[in-house]
Amino acid sequence: MYYMEKNRKQLELEILELLKTSGIPLHEKAMTKILLPVMEIENLTSVLDALKIENEKLRNLDKKAKRLEFKYKMVFDRMSK
């Protein structure tokens, strides 16, 4: 992966940043934070990949919700005229 040039501390910081907005349960967030210092680099990269994928999916859902909201607002405006 392209994370090989990143050091452990950078990976941990990115994971902690993504955990703030992650939708995973609080217990799993806490366990991940506890285990970060003892995880191997490969495990850190796997966790980071999963969190980035989740973050991207959440952003896409947010965009979709905004588009739908705008669409229904336009339909409502047309019907109310």
pLDDT at residue 5, as a whole number? 62
Residue (of 10, 8, 32) closest to 20 by Cα position: 32
Burial (CB count <10 Å: 0-12, 13-18, 19+), residue 14: middle
Q: Which tens digits make up the pLDDT trace of 29-54?
A: 999 999 999 999 999 999 999 999 99
Extents of the domains making up the chain: 52-81
The pLDDT confidence band at residue 3, using thresholds 50, 70 and 90, is low
Residue type, 50: A
Give the predicted TM-score (pTM) of the model: 0.73
